Structure formats: structure tokens, C-alpha cells
Amino acid sequence: MKTLGFILAAALAAIFFPIYIHQLHKTNEAETAAASLRLQVTELESRVAEQENRAEALQTRLHNTRETAVAKADQVVELQQALTNTAATNAKAANPMAEMFKSPEMKNLIKGQQELVLNSLIDKNYAPLFASLNSASGQAAAVKELLTKRALVDAQMGVSLMSGDVDSSKRTEMLQQAKTEKDGINDQIKQLLGDEGYAEFQAYEKTVPQRMSLNMFKDQQASGPGALTADQETQLLQAVNEETLKFKFSTDYSDQSKITADPASFFTEDKLAKFQEEREQLYELYRERATNILSEIQIGPFAKFLNSQRDMQDYGMKVAVKMFGSK
């Protein structure tokens, strides 16, 4: 946006600058003429008194010439003001939200808030994994720290994308850089857990999206007759995970390596439409399995919850298509 404002201001300057120079030239001519006339008036007054009428005429001409010079100068000032106002208008037209995200202070503030939220989400959704790790050796705390660090990579990339002035090639570069950073963090987790432990970690990670989603539903049903029992929670998570793992999407948006390599080929309107169609088939499988697990008063809220998840996901996908898709 800043660049656009500068270009517009420069374009206006290119239009008005020749006029400005022309007016300055005219003003200088007028001042020179005025000085000449003043000399003529002085000479005429000192020579003959009878030429007062002519001198008055010359003084009137001099006054008019001065007024013309002032008027020309005023035009120059108006042109300068027009350029200034145009630049100010273009500056105001810049995205204030994007400018805010460029501020180092705001970035630090957002990062602190992101870290608080991510810590809470990781505690909640990785609790069973942490419980299985060796607490005495500090594995759980170390893995949590690395998971938070990894999540912040994507979160901070999101902030950078919101700052504007990022073209498609730069966005692709940012995706690749984020993947490299996350791969490095995953390597650290693998070194910490060992081959066998890391295999268990990867298996658990495949269930995290479903855990996060069902934890949100559980929180919505926290009290009253619609609250989930521990047994219902376990069964519903198992059912959703089974259906998710069995289902094959035409475009696998969970494969980060392929997306990073060529985001434009993944984020297209056609592929998004196909993904939405197939996801509805998967959600129908969720609903069918849920009828054997949830009570009648829980089924309706579960269906509404899936709809809200669908809408939220659609919004995110549309943003991705806009940012990374083919232009």
C-alpha cells in the first residue's frame, strides 16, 4: 500500500511539476517587470510634474502587475498543497491493520499472547501423551516446549502475512522457511524421544486435530444434560479418528511437504470445492457413528458443532486460496 501511495504521488508530481516551473518563470518575469516599472515611475516623477497622470497610470499598471505575480504565486502554493494532500490521502488509504502488524512492539505483544494460548491448547490436547512420557527425566516439559516453539512458527508466519506488502513468491518462500524450521524442531523431538518414542509421538499427532475439535465440543456441552461422559468422549474420539484415517481426500491438505513445494497447485477454487464436497461425506460418517454414542439431546448440538467447524475451516481455506493460489 505504501508503494501504491508513492506511485500516485509521483504521478501527480509528474503532472504538476511542469506547471509549477512554468508559474515560477511567469512570477519571475512579473517581478522583473515590476522592478522596471518602479524605476520608470521614479524617473518620470523626478523629471516633470506634469506627467503625474502618466505616472499614476504606470503605478496602476505596476499594482496590477504585482497582483498578477501574487496570483501566480498563489497558484503555485495551491499546486504544492494539492500534492501534499494527495500524499496524505494515499498514506491514510494504506491498510492500518497491516501497518499495525509491522510494528516490532505489536509483534512482540502478539507473540506473547500467542504463546499463552498455544501453551493452554498444547496442555489440553497433548495431556495423554505427556502422561505417557518419562516425567522424571523432564521429557514432558521438553516436548511441550518444543511443541510450543513449533506452533509459534506458523503463528508468527500468520502475523507476517497480515503485515501486507508480501507477493506470491514471498509467501511461498515464507511457507518453505516455516517448514524448514518445523522440520528442525521435529528432529529435536525425535532425538529427545528416540526412534520408538518418536513413532508413538507421530501416531498421536495424527489424532490431535480430532482431539482439539472434540475438546471444543466437550467444553460447549460442559454442564447440563448434554454434557459428555468420559466413556462417550473416549468412544466418540475413537470413532472420529477411525473414520478420518480411513477416508481419502482427493487433495491431501494434511501433507505439508507437498503443499510447501507447490502451494499454488493445492490452493485452487476447484480443489477447494472438491475438498468441501468430500469433507461433507466424512462429516456424514461422523454423524452416523455418533448416533450410536451420543444421546438424543446431544446429537443436535453435535451436528451444529460440525457445521461451525465447517464454516471456520472454509474461511481459512478461502484465505489460503487468496494468498497462495494461482493468480
The full DSSP string for 94-138 is S-HHHHHHH-HHHHHHHHHHHHHHHHHHHHHHSHHHHHHS-TTTT
> Has this prediction a pTM greater than 0.75?
no
Q: What is the mean pLDDT of residues 172-182?
A: 89
Is residue 293 within 8 A of residue 236, CB to CB? The reply is yes
Based on the domain organization, do 105 and 218 belong to the same domain?
Answer: no
Instruction: Note the Cα 212 to chain centre separation in Å.
Output: 24
pLDDT over 90 at 136, yes or no = no
- Residue ending a domain, among 93, 127, 156, is 93
pLDDT over 70 at 26, yes or no = no
Is residue 126 within 8 A of residue 147, CB to CB? The reply is yes
Q: Output the CA torsion sign for 127, 128, 133, 135.
A: positive
d(CA 278, CA 207): 19
Spatial CA neighbour of 285 closest among 234, 230, 233, 248: 248
Give me the pLDDT at residue 221, please. 92
Based on the domain organization, do 246 and 163 belong to the same domain?
Answer: no
- Residue ending a domain, among 93, 126, 151, is 93
Based on the domain organization, do 163 and 134 belong to the same domain?
Answer: yes
Residue reference for cell 491438505: 253
Based on the domain organization, do 222 and 322 belong to the same domain?
Answer: yes
Going from the C-alpha of 20 to that of each of 73, 74, 194, the distances in angstroms are: 9, 11, 74
pLDDT over 70 at 127, yes or no = yes
246 pLDDT band, cuts 50/70/90, is: very high
What lies within 8 Å, CB to CB, of 26 at 6+ separation is 72
Domain total of the chain: 3
Is residue 251 within 8 A of residue 271, CB to CB? The reply is yes
Structural domain of residue 221, as residue ranges? Answer: 207-327
Is residue 325 within 8 A of residue 269, CB to CB? The reply is yes
Based on the domain organization, do 326 and 211 belong to the same domain?
Answer: yes
d(CA 246, CA 316): 24
Per-residue pLDDT of 253-311, as tens digits, reads 877 777 777 788 888 899 999 999 999 999 999 999 999 999 999 999 999 999 999 99
Based on the domain organization, do 27 and 102 belong to the same domain?
Answer: no
- Residue ending a domain, among 172, 205, 238, is 205
